[in-house]
Amino acid sequence: MKELEGNIAIVTGGARGIGEGICKVFCNEGATVFLWDILDEGELTAKKINEDGGDIFYQKVDITSESQVNKATDFIIKKFKKIDILINNAGVIRDRSFLKMSKDDWDTVININLRALYLTTQSVLPHMKSAGYGRIISASSINGFKGAFGQTNYSATKAAVSGFTRSLCKEVGKYGITVNAVAPGFIKSKMSDSMPKEVIDYEIKMIPVGRIGTPEDMGYTYLFLASKKSGFISGITLHANGGAMPN
């Protein structure tokens, strides 16, 4: 029996990077996955995973839009009557030292990384509650804990994800719903590729296991928390960083 057999999962930001890694691992473990992304690239990602035997649907969803989020949720509920797993993975950076940071840099990151967490979770949670089962896992970051030059906006949202997680788990545990976060370290993706080369080289040098993380590494980390077997783990932030930060 596969780990996620019969589970319906939403993965936000699944078009590429870590989200794509999560979609692949979840599909291999038997889940039916709904990939939410603003990028049309999501269509191709879903097509490739389907060709490899996965069961995955692309829905073009901007997670900052309440109406788009609710419409996509309603579609899944009409079709499958339940949502077992919500992965709040989509996120962005707008790095700039704080004195140079514009209100737009600040607001964009808060809006996508934090405000959207409200919208997606509000939309899906009532269905988990009525089913008496759910797994909600959201993307924090190592930099929400250790801080990073140029990332006051980003670090603030990622620390907030862990706080949100600790509080929500207390409210919904009685409905069979666990709420956790994953704090990735330095992982190969468009987001990390966009950083200056000297930052990338430095970050990799600081990883005790001696390599950058992969989207699949993260897929397995999310899988651990998404599994039915992890029902006694709730409210935690799981650090997956190759030892780059003491937990």
Ligand X SMILES: NC(=O)c1ccc[n+]([C@@H]2O[C@H](COP(=O)([O-])OP(=O)(O)OC[C@H]3O[C@@H](n4cnc5c(N)ncnc54)[C@H](O)[C@@H]3O)[C@@H](O)[C@H]2O)c1
DSSP string of 137-181, one letter each residue: EEE--THHHH--TT-HHHHHHHHHHHHHHHHHHHHHGGGTEEEEE
Q: Output 115 or 170, the one with its CB closest to ligand X.
A: 115
What is the rounded distance in angstroms from the CA atom of residue 15 to the CA atom of residue 89?
11
Q: Output 131 or 199, the one with its CB closest to ligand X.
A: 199
Whole-number minimum distance, CB 176 to ligand X, in Å?
A: 26
Whole-number minimum distance, CB 174 to ligand X, in Å?
A: 28
Q: Output 17 or 54, the one with its CB closest to ligand X.
A: 17
- Assess whether 220 carries a catalytic annotation: no
Contact 96, 105 (CB under 8 A): yes
The amino acid at 221:
T
- The one catalytic residue in 154, 175, 202, 222 is 154
Q: Output 133 or 186, the one with its CB closest to ligand X.
A: 186
3-state secondary structure of 196: coil
Taking every pair of C-alpha atoms in the chain, what is the biggest distance, in angstroms?
A: 54
Site of interaction with ligand X (CB under 6 A): 12-13, 15-19, 36-39, 61-64, 89-92, 112, 139, 141-142, 184, 186-187, 189-192
3-state secondary structure of 8: strand
3-state secondary structure of 65: coil
Whole-number minimum distance, CB 202 to ligand X, in Å?
A: 13
Q: Output 18 or 31, the one with its CB closest to ligand X.
A: 18
Whole-number minimum distance, CB 158 to ligand X, in Å?
A: 7
86 alpha carbon, distance to own chain's centre: 8
**Closest CA relative to residue 69, chosen from 8, 124, 129, 125:** 124
Contact 16, 91 (CB under 8 A): no
Active-site residues: which are they?
154
